[in-house]
Amino acid sequence: MAARPIRRLLIANRGEIAVRIIRACREMDISPVAVCSEADRDALHASLADRVLCVGPAPAAESYLSTDRLLRAAAESGADAVHPGYGFLSESAEFARACREAGLIWVGPPPEAMELLGDKIGAKRLMESAGVPTVPGCSGDDQSDAGLRAEAERIGTPLLVKAAGGGGGRGMRRVDSLDALQAALDAARQEARAAFGDPRLLLERFIQRPRHVEIQILGDQHGGLVHLFERDCSLQRRHQKLVEESPAPSLPDPLRRQMTATAVAAARAAGYWNAGTVEFLVEEPPGKEPRFHFLEVNARLQVEHPVTELVTGLDLVKLQLRVAAGEALPFTQEDVVPRGHAIEARIYAEDPAVAFRPSTGRLLHWSEPSGPGVRVDSGVRRGDEVSAYYDPLLAKLVAYGGNREEALARLDRALGEFHALPLRTDIGFLREVCRSAAFREGRVDVEFLEREFATWRPPSEPPEEVILALAAEAATRASARRPDAPRAGDSWTPWADASGWRAAGP
Amino acid sequence: MRIRAVHEGVLVEVVVERHGGGLRALLPDGTQRAFQATRTDDGFLIMELEDRTLRIPFTSERGESVFSWGGHAWRFRAEEAVPAASVPRDAGGALHAPMTGVLARVLVSEGERVAAGQPLAVLESMKVMATLESPVSGVVRRINVPAGSQVAQDALLVELEPDR
C-alpha cells in the first residue's frame, strides 16, 4: 500500500487524549482539528487545535458518539484522517468503516480485525482455536436466560458476567451463588445495552486474585508486527484501572515470552495493524507455576500507553499516524529494548472516601508536578469546569526511573506536587496506596484495592501546617480583596471581613 | 480573630492575631506559632515560620476553604454562627462548663500564669468544640477535671487565683 501522508487530522475525542494527539500532530507538522460538544467549547483540547468544530450538545450520544456529525466535521474541515482516541467510537468497527468509505484514513486497526478481536466472544473463539489458554467460560451462543443459566451451572461459581461488547467494568457482575444469577444478568444486560448498545453477555469462571498483565502490540500494513512488552494494570477498582506499570513486577521471563509471542500471533491471525493491546489474567495458584489466560483485545490506543512509551522510548501516537498513512514500522522487534521502569497513576475527579463518587465543579487551583522522570498528560487547566457529562479522568501522571524503586519515589514526590482544588480527587488516595507495603513489594492483584482499601478515609486530624494555613487564609483575606495592599499582615483587621469565616466572640 | 471551621464533622478552632509585623496563631493544642503570611496570585499561601517556609495551595469560595497538604485536600466549612453567649466568660476566679460535654483538652497546667482571655480548655459537645477562656489574669490554682472527662453544665473545671 502506497504511503499517503496525513495533512489534517480530525480528533474525534476530548480531554487528555485529544490533547495528547494534538501534540503528536504538532511534532509531525500535521494540522490538528478538534471537535467539541457545547459543554467543551472552552476545553483545553479545543483551544490547542488549529480549528475546532462544535459537533453537538453536551450529552456524548449527541456529539462525541455521533458518527454523522463527526463525519460532517471531517468533511467541513478538510481533514484527511480521523484519530478516535480511546473510549467513545474508538472501538466501533462501523465508525471505522464509515470513515474509510468517506475517503478518510482511519488511525486504528482495520475494521475487519476490530470486528474479529474487538468482540469478546469472537476473540475468545479465535484464541481457543489458536490454542491460546482462555478463561473457562461459555461461548455466548445462547443468550436466553435459560441458556446462560445452564452455562453458569456448568462453569460453577464464583463466576463473572461480562458484556460482550465493551469493557471498563460496565456490564460486569460477580456472581457468588446461582441464586443471584438472574439479577446479575438483568443488571449487566441493561448496563451493557446503555454503554455499548449491545446487550450480549458472556460468562467466565471467576479467577481468584489474578494479576492483570497486558501486551502492547503495533503493526504496519506491510506485515511488520511487533510487541512492545507488557504493562501490569493490577491496581484496579471495580475493573477500572488506577495504576499501571511496566515492566510487570516479578513476572517470570518464560511467562513474559509466552505472552508476548501469543499476543503477536493473535494479532497476526486477525490481520491486525496499528496499535492494540492483548489483555491477560495471570493466575498464581498456590504451590503451582503461574499461568496466563487470554482476557480480551483492545483494538485501539490504551489510556496507559505512556507507560510503554517511557520504557521503550517510542511515541505510540506518532507511530499510529505513520502506519495509518501506510509507512512501514521504522524498527524491528530486536530494536525494541525496554529500559528502566515507568508507573502511571490516573488522576480522577472522584472521591475515594465516598465510593469514588464523581466530583464536579470549577478547578480553581490546578498545579501539575514536573521535574526529572515526571510526565503529565492532562486534559484540563486552571479555571476549567469539570462537568458530569464525561469520564472523570483529569490527567495521567507517569513517573519514570532507572528501576522500580526510583520510579516509585518519583511518583510519590510528584503526587505530592499535584494539586487540584477544590474538587475531590484520588491524589491522596493514590499516594497512600503507592506507599503501601504490598504495592511497594509488587504483590498486588486485581482485588487488592477492594480488599485492603475499601474503607479508606482521608486522615481526619488536620496537622499543624493545615491549621496554620486555615489561620493564614482567614487573616490574609481582607488584603486579598485589595490588590494594592502591600502585605497581608499590615492591613489585617479582624473585623474587615463581614462574610465567610466568623470571627467569634467574646 | 477566632476562626471556627468544620473539618470532617469536627469543629476546629484557631485564634490568630497581629503580632509584631506578622501574625501569631494559637493552635487547638495550645501551642503558639508566629509567622508571616501572604497569598500569591496563583493560589498559594506562603507562610514564613521561624524555622521553615510553607507553601500551601488553597482555594476559598462559598464558605469552603480547601488546602492541599501531604497529598491530601483538607476541607473546611465555615461554621454556622454560634451565639457568643453560649460560651460565657466566667466572672471571678473560676472556670465553669458552659454546657454538658466532654472536656477535650486542658491547655494549661497548675501553677501556670495566664492572661485574661487566654484559652484554658476545650469543651466538646455534639461535635462542636468550644474554647473556654480565662475570665481573669492570674495563676491556675487547680484543674478539677482531667482531659477526656464527661462534664455537666456548670461543673467547676479550673480554679484560678486572680491578680490583685
pLDDT for A2? 60
| Average of per-residue pLDDT across A238-245 | 93
- Residue in the structure block whose three cell numbers are 469536627: B10
Spell out which residues of chain A touch residue B71, defining contact as CB-CB under 8 Å: 415-416, 427-428, 431-432
Cβ burial of A362 (10 Å; 0-12, 13-18, 19+) is: middle
Amino acid symbol at B24: R
CATH number for the domain harbouring residue A164? 3.30.1490.20
Q: What is the CATH number of the domain that holds B119?
A: 2.40.50.100
Q: Which cell numbers hold the place of A110?
A: 482495520
How far apart are the CA of A483 and the nearest CA of chain B, in angstroms? 10
| Stated pTM of the model | 0.81
Closest C-alpha to A208, from A233, A165, A174: A174
Same structural domain, A200 and A234: no
Q: Identify which of A439, A452, A451, A446 has the alpha carbon closest to the alpha carbon of residue A407.
A: A439
Does B83 map to a domain?
no
pLDDT value at residue A492: 36
> Does a structural domain hold residue B129?
yes
Domain assignment present for A1: no
Q: Among B78, B96, B114, where does a domain finish? A: B78
pLDDT for A119: 76
Contact A33/A27 with Cβ under 8 angstroms? no
Backbone angles phi, psi at B134, to 5 degrees: -70, 130
User: What pLDDT, in 10s, does the model give residues A170-223?
Assistant: 888 999 999 999 999 999 998 888 888 889 998 999 998 999 999 999 999 999
Q: Check: CB of residue A347 under 8 Å from CB of residue A426.
A: yes
Per the structure, how many domains does chain B have?
2
What local confidence, expressed as pLDDT, does residue A500 receive? 44
Q: Are residues B6 and B44 in the same domain?
A: yes
Taking the C-alpha atoms of residue A52 and residue A42, their distance in angstroms, rounded to an integer, is 10
Q: What's the pLDDT tens digit per position in A463-481?
A: 999 999 999 999 998 666 5
Say if the Cβ atoms of B3 and A466 lie within 8 Å.
no
The distance in angstroms from the start CA to the end CA of chain B is 28
Quick one: B55 and B97 in the same domain?
Answer: no
Average pLDDT score over residue span A253-269: 94
Q: What is the pLDDT of residue A285?
A: 85
Nearest to B37 among A365, A472, A504 (CB): A472
Our CA-based measurement puts residue B3 at a distance from the nearest CA of chain A, in whole angstroms, of: 6
Same domain, B92 and B158: yes
- Same domain? B66 vs B126: no
Per run of 10 residues, the mean pLDDT along chain B (length 164 residues) is: 88 90 90 94 94 96 91 85 42 78 87 88 74 88 86 84 84
Is A3 among the domain residues? no
> CB B37 to CB A489 under 8 A?
yes
Same domain for A291 and A215, yes or no, is: yes
Neighbours of A227 (CB within 10 A): 22
pLDDT in tens, A19-42: 999 999 999 999 999 999 999 999
CB contact under 8 A, A468 and B27: yes
How far apart are the C-alpha atoms of B107 and B27, rounded to whole Å? 10
Give me the active site residues of A, please.
300
**Percentage of the residues of chain A whose pLDDT score is greater than 70:** 94
Please give the average per-residue pLDDT across A137-157, as a whole number: 89
Q: All 3 cell numbers of residue A285?
A: 495458584
* Full domain range(s) for residue B98: 88-162
Partner-chain contact A365 B58, CB within 8 Å: yes
Residue B130 C-alpha, separation from nearest chain A C-alpha, in angstroms = 11
Residue to test with chain B: of A348, A381, A418, A421, most B Cβ within 10 A? A421
Of B141, B154, B157, which Cα lies nearest the Cα of B104? B157
A428: chain B residues, CB-CB within 8 Å: 70-73
- Verify that A340 and A440 share a domain, yes or no: yes
Give residue A12's Cα distance to chain centre: 16
Mean pLDDT of A254-259: 96
The answer to whether B12 contacts A462, with C-beta atoms less than 8 Å apart, is: yes
Count: domains in chain A = 4
pLDDT of res. B122? 86
CA distance B1 to chain A (A): 5
Please say if the pLDDT value at position A56 is more than 60.
yes
* Structure confidence at residue A49 (pLDDT): 98
| pLDDT level of residue A495 (50, 70, 90 thresholds) | very low
Residue B68 lies in a domain: yes
The answer to whether the CB atoms of B43 and A421 lie below 8 A apart is yes
> Which of residues A9 and B119 earns the better pLDDT score?
A9
The reply to whether A165 falls in a domain is: yes
Alpha-carbon distance of A223 to A228, in angstroms, equals: 16
* Nearest beta carbon to residue B82 from set A416, A425, A504: A504
3-state class (DSSP) for residue A283: strand
Task: Tell me whether residue A128 is in a domain.
Answer: no
Same domain? A268 vs A371: yes
CB-nearest to A427 from B22, B60, B71 is B71
Q: Band the pLDDT of A229: cuts 50, 70, 90.
A: very high
- Which chain B residues contact residue A494 at CB under 8 A? 1, 17
B73 with B117, same domain? no
Q: Is the pLDDT of residue A320 over 70?
A: yes
Do B107 and B46 share a domain, yes or no? no
> Within a domain: residue B10?
yes
Same domain, B56 and B107: no
Residue A458: closest C-alpha in chain B: B72
* Contact flag A473-B45 (C-beta cutoff 8 Å): yes
For residue A495, give the chain B residue with the closest CA: B1
> The domain spanning residue B40 has which CATH number?
3.30.700.30
Q: Is residue A457, in this structure, part of any structural domain at all?
A: no
Q: Tens digits of per-residue pLDDT, A428-451?
A: 999 999 999 999 999 999 999 999
Task: For residues A225 and A197, state if they share a domain.
Answer: no
CATH of residue A87: 3.40.50.20
Distance CA B6, CA A499 (A): 16
Give per-residue pLDDT as tens, A355-396: 888 898 999 999 999 999 999 999 999 999 998 899 999 999
Same domain, B73 and B96: no
The overall average pLDDT reported for chain A is 91
pLDDT score, position A234:
97
Domain contains A466: no
The end-to-end CA distance of chain A, in Å, is 83
- If asked whether residues B112 and B71 sit together in one domain, one would say no
Please tell me whether residues B98 and B152 are part of one structural domain. yes
Exposed/middle/buried for residue B102 (C-beta within 10 Å: 0-12, 13-18, 19+): middle
> To the nearest whole angstrom, how far is the Cα of B15 from the nearest Cα of chain A?
7
| B120 shares a domain with B62 | no
Same domain, A407 and A301: yes
B33 within 8 A of A464, measured Cβ to Cβ: yes
Residues contacting residue A476 through CB under 8 Å, at least 6 positions apart = A488, A492, B37, B38, B39, B45
**All 3 cell numbers of residue A163?**
458484556
User: In chain A, whose CA is at the least distance from the CA of B19?
Assistant: A489
- Regarding whether A147 and A30 lie in a shared domain, the answer is no
What is the grid cell recorded at A420?
487540584
**Same domain, yes or no, for A143 and A280?**
no
Question: What CATH number should be reported for the domain holding residue A342?
Answer: 3.30.470.20
Does residue A417 belong to any structural domain of this protein?
A: yes
Which band of pLDDT confidence, cut at 50, 70 and 90, is reported for residue A506? very low
Residue B126 lies in a domain: yes
Q: pLDDT at position A171, please?
A: 84
Please give the helix or strand (H or E) that residue B22 lies within, else none. strand B22-26
Are both B133 and B156 inside the same structural domain? Answer: yes
Structural domain boundaries, residue A447: 211-452
Q: What is the DSSP string of A154-208?
A: HH-SSEEEEESS--TTTT-EEESSGGGHHHHHHHHHHHHHHHHS---EEEEE--S
Both A234 and A314 in one domain: the answer is yes
